[in-house]
Amino acid sequence: MPESQNTQNFSEVRKTRLFALIPAAGIGRRMGSASPKQYMPVAGAPMLVQTVRALERVERIERIFIVVSAQDHEIDALASGFSERVTVLRAGGAERAESVLGGLMASGMPEDAWVLVHDAARPCVRPSEIAHLIDEILGASSIAGERPAGGILAVPMADTVKRADANGMILETVPRKNLWRAATPQLFQAGVLLKALSGPLEGVTDEASAVERLGLAVRVVSCRSTNIKVTEPGDDRIAELLLGDNAMTLPDIRVGQGYDSHRLVEGRPLILGGVRIPFEKGLDGHSDADVLLHAVTDAILGAAALGDIGQHFPPSDPKWKGADSAKLLEAVVALTKAEGWTILNVDATLVAERPKIGPHMPAIRARLAEILGVAPGRVSVKAKTNERMDDVGREAGMMAHAAALLGRV
């Protein structure tokens, strides 16, 4: 395929407006009975919250609509925890199709927008599977043959399929070739869904079956069997294990890099990695000029994409005159912690011609680990000379480089 065609399909996919809708209008069977299924805890959060989180990880979804019943008493407690991309609509009905229909109308989304209808009870769907469905259906113009009106995630049938009578006696073995188990999300244009769900709904068990009745082509897009629907007691335990797996396979890990340099001058103390080193000169700067801590601070800020040391502690501000760089680094560590980051490791290199750093290295490493609040095994500091080359080699100053790795669940 020529490259230009690829590019065109890609931009077509990108300009399409895309929404998600979760019908979640189930209420307890009787007043005062146990919570409806979507609020059942799974892996430490209500199932609906886990499902919303899975959709929130797909950045191309403009807005996620949750359709609940007007009598729902539990959604309000959760709503504040959702991102601003999530809207709760009290437009649910007794049947799933009514909730989807009510949600579509209440959402105000245009009829040509695409909408991913997703079960509240499928929290284990992977963002990569949703992205695959979107790419396959919205980018389908390049595929030979009929352009589908929409598509659904589905699992190819792996088991042998039997048809049995009411007594459990096998009538036949149904060839499993071309058989799929329908899952969600199911992706259609809002207008198509409105039309499909406004017709008679007998025998309609998912959005695709209603669209099929209009005579429109719907495609299956393969997903893993791990995209389970939490239906029976014990399924929540399986979902918990699968969600743990998803978190394991998609960790949020960021690397950051930092660099700093300071001049060596007479009449200043030499402080490296928060440790005072006996020497006839010291580093010059507005703060205590701890070149090593400054490089580490920038590496951590860089990993968290939180700017640089100069932005947080401007040299023009008299507040930072003579500042203890350990305090600045502690403040930055606290800032990244507040954003959910954990420091996985830090590695730094100091470039200095003199004095010999080796004897001070254990103290520098221990102090740095202390400031960072991590085990010493996660901190490495190396020292090199510059082989008497350039200004650092002629002892005009010192340089430091650092790398930091941050992780967040």
Binding site for Mg ion (CB under 5 A): 260, 294
Q: DSSP 3-state assignment of 95?
A: coil
Q: DSSP 3-state assignment of 408?
A: strand
How many other CB atoms sit within 10 Å of the CB of residue 345?
Answer: 16
Work out how close the CB of 387 gets to Mg ion at its nearest, in angstroms, rounded to a whole number. Answer: 23
Tokens of 3: 């490259």
CA distance 300 to 296: 6
Tokens of 104: 């579509």
Work out how close the CB of 320 gets to Mg ion at its nearest, in angstroms, rounded to a whole number. Answer: 11
Instruction: Give the residues across from 366 on adjacent strands.
Output: none
Closest CA to 250 of 337, 129, 153, 336: 129
Contact between residue 286 and residue 392 where contact means Cβ atoms under 8 Å apart: no
Contact between residue 79 and residue 48 where contact means Cβ atoms under 8 Å apart: no
Contact between residue 176 and residue 159 where contact means Cβ atoms under 8 Å apart: yes
Please count the CA atoms within 13 angstroms of the CA of 207 that sit on its side-chain side: 34
Cα 381 to chain centroid distance, Å, stands at: 32
Indicate the burial class of 366 (C-beta count within 10 angstroms; 0-12, 13-18, 19 or more): middle
